[in-house]
Amino acid sequence: MDTPISLRMKEKGFRSDAALAAKVGCDRSMITRVKLGKASPSLDLAVKLSAELNLPASAFLRAPQAEDAA
Protein backbone atom coordinates (compact mmCIF):
# COMPACT_ATOMS: atom_id res chain seq x y z
CA MET A 1 0.00 0.00 0.00
CA ASP A 2 1.41 3.34 -1.02
CA THR A 3 1.10 6.13 1.51
CA PRO A 4 1.14 9.82 0.55
CA ILE A 5 4.73 9.99 1.79
CA SER A 6 5.85 6.93 -0.19
CA LEU A 7 4.16 8.30 -3.32
CA ARG A 8 6.00 11.61 -2.91
CA MET A 9 9.26 9.75 -2.32
CA LYS A 10 8.81 8.02 -5.69
CA GLU A 11 7.96 11.34 -7.38
CA LYS A 12 11.14 12.87 -5.98
CA GLY A 13 13.30 9.93 -7.07
CA PHE A 14 13.88 8.24 -3.72
CA ARG A 15 13.78 4.53 -4.56
CA SER A 16 14.19 3.35 -0.97
CA ASP A 17 13.73 4.44 2.62
CA ALA A 18 17.51 4.14 2.99
CA ALA A 19 18.10 6.70 0.21
CA LEU A 20 15.88 9.29 1.90
CA ALA A 21 17.35 8.48 5.30
CA ALA A 22 20.86 9.10 4.00
CA LYS A 23 19.79 12.42 2.51
CA VAL A 24 18.19 13.72 5.73
CA GLY A 25 20.63 12.09 8.17
CA CYS A 26 18.55 9.52 10.01
CA ASP A 27 18.11 5.77 10.24
CA ARG A 28 16.21 3.91 7.52
CA SER A 29 13.88 2.38 10.09
CA MET A 30 12.78 5.85 11.20
CA ILE A 31 11.72 6.69 7.64
CA THR A 32 9.79 3.41 7.48
CA ARG A 33 8.00 4.10 10.79
CA VAL A 34 7.15 7.69 9.81
CA LYS A 35 5.93 6.60 6.38
CA LEU A 36 3.64 3.98 7.96
CA GLY A 37 2.34 6.40 10.62
CA LYS A 38 3.92 4.43 13.45
CA ALA A 39 6.23 7.21 14.66
CA SER A 40 6.58 10.97 14.53
CA PRO A 41 9.96 12.46 13.72
CA SER A 42 11.65 15.13 15.77
CA LEU A 43 10.88 18.68 14.69
CA ASP A 44 14.32 18.92 13.08
CA LEU A 45 13.76 15.74 11.07
CA ALA A 46 10.22 16.79 10.10
CA VAL A 47 11.62 20.04 8.68
CA LYS A 48 14.29 18.15 6.71
CA LEU A 49 11.73 15.69 5.34
CA SER A 50 9.45 18.58 4.46
CA ALA A 51 12.20 20.27 2.48
CA GLU A 52 13.23 17.09 0.64
CA LEU A 53 9.72 15.94 -0.24
CA ASN A 54 8.02 19.34 -0.58
CA LEU A 55 5.30 18.39 1.88
CA PRO A 56 4.18 20.30 4.98
CA ALA A 57 5.99 19.20 8.15
CA SER A 58 2.61 18.22 9.58
CA ALA A 59 2.41 15.43 6.96
CA PHE A 60 5.02 13.53 8.96
CA LEU A 61 3.32 13.73 12.35
CA ARG A 62 1.11 10.93 13.57
CA ALA A 63 -2.08 11.51 15.51
CA PRO A 64 -1.96 10.43 19.16
CA GLN A 65 -3.52 7.00 19.70
CA ALA A 66 -5.58 5.88 22.70
CA GLU A 67 -2.75 3.60 23.86
CA ASP A 68 -0.42 6.65 23.95
CA ALA A 69 -2.49 8.13 26.80
CA ALA A 70 -2.25 5.01 28.95
Give residue-wise pLDDT tens across range 18-52: 999 999 999 999 999 999 989 999 999 999 999 99
The second-level CATH assignment, the architecture, of 4-59 is Orthogonal Bundle (1.10)
Q: Three-class SS string for 24-35?
A: HCCCHHHHHHHH
What would the pLDDT profile of 59-68 be if each residue is shown by its tens digit? 998 777 666 5
What's the pTM value of the predicted model, to 2 decimals?
Answer: 0.85
pLDDT of residue 47: 96
pLDDT of residue 17: 97
pLDDT of residue 62: 79
